[in-house]
A and B are shown apart, each in its own frame.
Chain A
Amino acid sequence: MSAQGAEPQPNYLTAGQSVRSWLLTIDHKRIGLLYMVSITLFFFLGGAAATLVRLELMTPKGDVVQPETYNKLFTAHGVIMVFFFLIPSIPAVLGNFLVPLMIGARDLAFPKLNLASWYVFMIGGVFTLWAVLTGGVDTGWTFYTPYSSMFSNTSVMSAALGVFIVGFSSILTGLNFIVTIHKMRAPGMTWLRLPLFIWAMYATSLIMILGTPVLAVTVALVGLERFFGFGIFDPKLGGDPILFQHLFWFYSHPAVYIMLLPSFGVINEIVPCFTKRPVFGYRTMATAMMAIAALGFLVWGHHMFVSGQSMYGGLIFSFLSFFVAIPSAVKVFNWTATLYKGTVSGTTPMLYALGFIGLFTIGGLTGLMLASLAIDVHVHDTYFVVAHFHYIMVGGAVMGYLGGIHFWWPKITGRMYPEIWGKLAALTIFIGFNLTFFPQFILGYLGMPRRYYEYDAEYQVLNVMSTAGASILAVGFLLPLVYLILSLWMGKEAGPNPWGAKGLEWEIPSPPTVHNFDEPPVAPERPYDYPLKEQDREPS
């Protein structure tokens, strides 16, 4: 194969330096990086909106922004973070980069479609940014009708169009992953030898392709109602607003798992590597992720306990929601069992993984509280809900994303990040996050409603704590931005496998060559082929 072995092959970063070679690339690794740059931009935009929200909430009276502006700020924060950061985050960045590498393929099944998905993403992003710049949107990220379709005087149309368009980008990504995982695996890479990250991507992709079209058509109906004044969801004109909520949450609840399952996948890779043990319960891990994807489609009604859906509907949705806890708990127990008596090292990715396990557990357990009808009536639309889903989305999804970025940074760039700064940032984020959001559980339980820009003076102490935590969190998020970029020049050479990790992606140079594998890869006999310890062999 490598007859002229003396000449070093260009890697995917050095093969072609022009702007054109990046913007027209069909290399899955470069497309992953295009996504990384784009979503980082959106992340800090959404973060800026959150910063202003937290500043406003430092005092009980409205003093930083106008009430209308406040509505637009939390809407911008929600729309940008959900649709333009969390949903694409791990799948579009790490998934694009890793799926072909992990299964031993040269690229995704449809490379041009992959590039198209990035362009669709950017077009959707432009529409949404346009909406934010031309006056903003004040409906909340949920676009509830009839407010969004009949009453709001803000740029609902362009924001909705942006969300509609960006949906197709995630459909294309999901479709590409499903076909790639089915058809492009290297010889010997059977389903039960796949890294669990691949299982996570597969489960996520299923949700993307089955859920996203429903959101698209729902948003289209809202657009029709708003543009032509038909009464599809407006009760005054004979429509049914609850139907909108059903359709919206039919996508948007599974979307939570689009954000979370990829993080499960990342944690599944990090934990075995830094305990140097095979992951505990491989099959139950894979089954649990598929079960979460399937059950996730049956629980949307738990967002609507107080909306006027039938009481029996509420009962069934509550019951089914408890079922999701079973596969989720299986995963937490399996991670714990993997850690047990392992050689746990405290490197940066592992700190994120450990943080994830703890924060996800809190987020999951408070989710069970919210799935209970009686408690939900009490805390519905309060800060308890806000705290709960931030534990899942920041404590879960963002921690997983950052852990994954650090874990595969040497593979992506060929450089190590500064470990000491990495640890410092991970700790800062963990502390800042908890200080921001734990007080919100208490605030919500005491009755502070979400989405209000003023509040009773008795809530101030906890709100100040939350705002203080948010500033620590902001520092924590800015740190990686700085040291990761600097590491591109200053980081030491990583070599193919700095962590001693198992998996096909670690057997090739860092950064990989354009065609990924110079020799046809051979799948290992079992995934997570770390040496078995004495206690793994026989029960003592």
Chain B
Amino acid sequence: MSLAEAEPTHGYLASHFETLEQQHQSAALGMWTFLATEVMFFGGLFLGFSVYRFVDPEPFAIASRHLNVTLGTINTFVLLTSSLTMALVVRAGQTGDRKAQVRNLLLTMALATLFLGIKAREYYEEFEHHLAPGASFSTAALHLPEDAPESLGQQAQLFFVFYFFMTGLHGFHMLIGIAVMAVLVVKAQRGQYTAEHYTQLEMTGLYWHFVDLVWVFLFPLLYLVELHT
């Protein structure tokens, strides 16, 4: 770092950047670019799901009926609330309010954990009903019509393949988010985020809102199939 640096940077400025502003903007663009790759990653799954549902809508509707819409709705509410608390974290970063940073981070983590708990409860229900795809998969719980062809059960299983993969991947992203927030809580507690330097809070915020947004698409796509057929 050059000695002639005009503004104080409190050691936050990496040596290959000129200003904190440049460093912050680079991080933001990097995060947005990363989120673009995430959109494409989930996009492949959304495409596969949509194709199979379009080709043969009936089994997907039957299978979707056996998801727990009530728990899904509650979860949607929980997750969107966590987006609010995450927005408050970023706000607290802008104002340099250390206590509010820690408090809202902990709140967000609690809501995220609640979401995962409810999700686990749903998974448990589905395992109990042998709806998890694989060797133990059974169409018994689906109450298929007597004369249903074999393909109906296969396609219903395909629905659950996508359901578990997509929600599982989403849950995995939430776990990563919680882990990152755990680190941020410690750093925020130590007063490392000030009004001049809260890039990490803002980037985590962007990531978290993305994770929420994925769920906003997943919920109607998986749970509310029948409402839009």
Interface residues of A (CB under 8 A from B): 105-111, 171, 175-176, 178-180, 182-184, 209-214, 216-218, 221, 224, 228-232, 237-240, 243, 247, 515
Contact = CB atoms under 8 A, between A and B. Distances in A.
B36 A209 contact: yes
B158 A231 contact: yes
A209 B154 contact: no
Nearest to B44: A217
A357 B106 CA distance: 60
Contacts of B158: 230-232, 238-239
Contacts of A230: 133-134, 157-158, 161
Interface in B6-51: 14-17, 22, 25-26, 29-30, 33-34, 36-38, 40-45, 47-48, 51
A183 B37 contact: no
Nearest to A230: B161
Given A216-B41, A243-B51, A183 B133 contact: no
Interface in B148-170: 151, 154-155, 157-158, 161, 165
Contacts of A217: 41-42, 44-45
12 contacts: A106-B16, A109-B30, A184-B22, A184-B26, A213-B43, A217-B42, A218-B44, A224-B165, A230-B133, A230-B157, A238-B151, A247-B47
Contact of A179 (B26, B133, B165): B26
B133 A209 contact: no
B33 A175 contact: yes
Contacts of B157: 230-231, 238
A97 to B, nearest CB: 15
A247 B151 contact: no
B52 interface: yes
A112 to B, nearest CB: 10
Interface of B: 14-17, 22, 25-26, 29-30, 33-34, 36-38, 40-45, 47-48, 51-52, 55, 133-135, 151, 154-155, 157-158, 161, 165
B134 A214 contact: no
Given A105-B16, A213-B37, A110 B30 contact: yes
Nearest to A221: B48
B154 A214 contact: no
Given A175-B37, A179-B33, A228 B151 contact: no
A527 B40 CA distance: 35
B44 A247 contact: yes
Contacts of A210: 36-37, 40
A175 B41 CA distance: 15
Given A107-B16, A179-B26, A238-B154, A228 B33 contact: no
A238 B155 contact: yes
Contacts of B33: 175, 178-179, 209
Contacts of A240: 51-52, 55
Contacts of A105: 16
B40 to A, nearest CB: 4
A106 B47 contact: no
B41 A214 contact: yes
A211 B40 contact: yes
A214 B30 contact: no
Contact of B40 (A109, A111, A213, A231): A213
A229 B134 contact: yes
A214 B15 CA distance: 35
Nearest to B156: A238
A209 B37 contact: yes
Nearest to A228: B134
Contact of A224 (B26, B55, B161): B161
A404 to B, nearest CB: 24
A212 B39 CA distance: 12
Contacts of B41: 213-214, 216-217
Contacts of A213: 37-38, 40-41, 43-44
A384 B30 CA distance: 42
A214 B48 contact: no
Contacts of B52: 240
A108 B158 CA distance: 43
Given A209-B33, A213-B40, A240-B51, 12 more contacts: A108-B16, A175-B34, A178-B33, A183-B25, A209-B37, A213-B41, A214-B40, A214-B41, A218-B44, A221-B44, A232-B48, A239-B158
4 smallest CB-CB distances across A and B, nearest first, come from: A238-B154, A213-B41, A217-B44, A107-B16
A30 B48 CA distance: 41
A184 B25 CA distance: 10
A348 to B, nearest CB: 33
B110 to A, nearest CB: 31
B154 A111 contact: no
Contact of A214 (B16, B29, B44): B44
A329 B97 CA distance: 58
A180 B30 CA distance: 9
Nearest to B133: A230
B133 A228 contact: yes
A10 to B, nearest CB: 16
B37 A212 contact: yes
Contacts of A107: 16
B44 A183 contact: no
A247 B15 CA distance: 41
